[in-house]
Chain A
Amino acid sequence: MSTHTPTRPRNRTAAPQPAAAPKRRSHQRRNYIGGLAGWIWLAIIIVPVYYILITSITAQGQYYTRNPLLPPTDPTFEAFGLVVGSGFGRYFVNSIIVTLTTVVITVAVSLLAAYVIVRSRKKFVKATYSLFLLGLAIPLQATIIPLFFMLGRVGLYDTLAGIILPSIAFAIPVTVLILVNFIRDIPGELFESMRMDGATHGTILRQLVLPLARPAIASVLIYDALNVWNGFLLPLVLTQSEENRVLPLALWNFQGQFSVNVPATLAAVVLSALPILVLYLVARRQLVSGLTAGAGK
């Protein structure tokens, strides 16, 4: 863990990538085969996305008669209306609550832990860090049955808190790992001189760690938020009632409920992806670096 590769320039998680990159093959022949393959792959990616979009604005009656790849002749938003009228708002709010609560608590407790892990040499702290690292390798899917049992015992089954608590636990190892790797690079002298000046650890966290670790914090926030927003298994097992339904589960339910109304199901898909699409459009670089931040998992 503590092995560092000093020679390699470290392009930090949120560093802007393209600027520094080499202009590599400029004086080579154009790569026609590569370009062609690139366009073919684009088709494989885009066709399903395009299909989702055009189907969501197709009238239900036209779905069975149209050509699935042509845009509808008279686009309609009736499917969206149906979805919004079917409790979508509620599920959306639930997802927001679960996601925000999870990421805020995860990042807060992980930041504290990471700070201690970097700055302390106590055996106990080292052992804790090793346990988190081990946590990266444990398939947490295997915990759904015991969680179902434990949360049932304490009355948290079918509550949003019942999704949030395990989600936090699942997110902690990778969040701590990323933050530790980042805080380690803050020169030790900075901590020491602040201590000499009589700063408390609270002050050091607020005035030194927080500002310097901002890119890493942004990355883990995004990474954790995406995982929780899209999480399916925990809500599936740990909730039941409609009032505690989150979006991925709602999609799955819409699919059963609207089984013959494919446009409505796909309209729900579009609506559920909208917040992240907006994030993708306004902050693609941060989103992308947030995604790869979890690669150590």
Chain B
Amino acid sequence: MTKTRNGGAGVENASAPSTWLVAPALILFLVFAIIPLAVALGLSFTSWDGLTAPVFNGVANWIRKLGDPVTYNALWLSFQVIIFSWIVQTPISLLIGVFTAGKQRYRAVLSALYFLPLILSSAAIAIAFKALLDPNYGLGQSLGIPLLSQDWLGNPHLVLYVVIFVIAWQFIPFHSLLYQAGARQIPPSLYEAAQLDGAGRVRQFFSITVPQLKNTIVTSSTLMVVGSLTYFDIVYVLTQGGPGYATRLLPLDMYLTGFTASDLGGASVLAVLLVVIGLLLALALTKFSGFNRMNSQQEGA
């Protein structure tokens, strides 16, 4: 963060633009993103139904929410979504990214189609999958395979995995794009040398492609983990947290506590938890990987 690349001479300050120019961005960001965090903390010590004025009630919400098994269920579900999403999305995105980085014409055509989910909103994707997964009129009926005609979204043992699948369907194209950009920057000479040494395709993949994509893996994983923690849209439209509490992830728990159960004080406790966990996760990931690398990586994407 220390030295600027431009100039570096003492004259720079004299020719520097007025600091006031950062004001519009800074004020908008402070008022609508940072101050709300403080307000959330404040609201977490109040009892508020969203209609009347909030009333201070001390740590009552905190005691209630931290003693509520629903909160721990939400944390556990969010944790599972983070882990499973990473396990499912990372290898597939990496393979697709490398695959579409290839120059063959059919791959260029395929990749244009692969990225189609990027143009659909989460609401649109969730609505489409809701129809597609319908046990009576959905995909299962069409193929006549009873196994596919399950009540995917109504079965509490399956629904979390279905949600993870739909999230993967939405986000793998995006992460593939990152890997595609990364793979295109690997110097071809590395592969030529490996081929001269008689290394096969699998060997090349594991000893050249994967190590060369290390930075992309870090970037993509960070986005995936933080994104999975805060994921709301698809799950809300697909299941609204149900059946029962089967897909009530942390952000859903916050929303439903606040706006369905009209307990905005309790929901604010969950909001604060979300911020703390999100920051800790991001911190841990960047400490482990290096924020600098992650950011210089994105320019090459």
Contact = CB atoms under 8 A, between A and B. Distances in A.
Given A2-B1, A173-B29, A112 B21 contact: yes
B33 to A, nearest CB: 4
A282 to B, nearest CB: 12
A122 B96 CA distance: 45
B51 to A, nearest CB: 10
A42 B16 CA distance: 52
A277 B282 CA distance: 33
B232 to A, nearest CB: 5
A6 B5 CA distance: 12
A66 to B, nearest CB: 9
Interface in B1-34: 1-8, 11-13, 15-19, 21-22, 24-26, 28-29, 31-34
Contact of A131 (B24, B29, B124, B185): B29
Given A116-B21, A125-B19, A45 B117 contact: yes
A69 B142 CA distance: 6
Contacts of A145: 40, 43, 254, 258, 264, 267-268, 271
Given A121-B13, A292-B298, A1 B292 contact: yes
A144 to B, nearest CB: 7
A21 B6 CA distance: 30
Contact of A48 (B129, B220, B223, B278): B129
B191 interface: yes
Contacts of B125: 48
A168 B28 contact: yes
A112 B129 contact: no
B300 interface: yes
Interface in B267-286: 267-268, 271-272, 274-275, 278-279, 282-283, 286
Contacts, number: 384
Contact of A146 (B24, B36, B139, B295): B36
Nearest to B121: A230
A212 interface: no
A182 to B, nearest CB: 8
Nearest to B290: A3
Nearest to A205: B17
Contacts of A132: 25, 29
Interface stretch (B81-89, B108-116, B155-163): B108-116
B128 A266 contact: yes
Contact of A109 (B28, B220, B223): B28
A64 B188 CA distance: 54
A129 to B, nearest CB: 8
Given A113-B22, A146-B39, A10 B299 contact: yes
A119 B13 CA distance: 8
B36 A119 contact: no
A104 interface: no
B223 A17 contact: no
B237 A252 contact: yes
A229 interface: yes
B112 A201 contact: no
A51 B173 CA distance: 19
Given A138-B33, A295-B301, A144 B112 contact: no
**Residue from B7, B12, B29, B37 whose CB has the most chain A CB atoms within 10 Å:** B29
**Residue from B36, B113, B187, B255 whose CB has the most chain A CB atoms within 10 Å:** B36
A77 interface: no
Contact of A25 (B11, B102, B219): B102
B89 to A, nearest CB: 13
Contact of B278 (A4, A133, A142): A142
A166 interface: yes
A169 B236 CA distance: 24
Interface residues of A, number: 140
Contacts of B292: 1, 3
A12 to B, nearest CB: 7
A215 B275 CA distance: 33
B132 A48 contact: yes
B17 A119 contact: yes
Nearest to A233: B232
A187 to B, nearest CB: 7
Nearest to B125: A48
A185 B6 CA distance: 8
B22 A140 contact: no
B242 interface: no
Interface in A118-157: 118-122, 124-126, 128, 130-133, 135-150
A97 B29 CA distance: 21
B121 A251 contact: yes
Contacts of A284: 112, 115
Contacts of A73: none
Nearest to A175: B25
Contact of A64 (B12, B117, B137): B137
Contact of A170 (B33, B174, B195, B236): B33
Given A48-B129, A295-B219, 10 more contacts: A1-B295, A18-B108, A22-B188, A37-B99, A39-B110, A41-B114, A45-B116, A119-B15, A148-B264, A191-B7
16 contacts: A10-B299, A45-B116, A46-B113, A51-B128, A68-B139, A131-B26, A137-B286, A141-B251, A142-B230, A165-B28, A169-B33, A188-B6, A226-B118, A248-B233, A291-B174, A296-B219
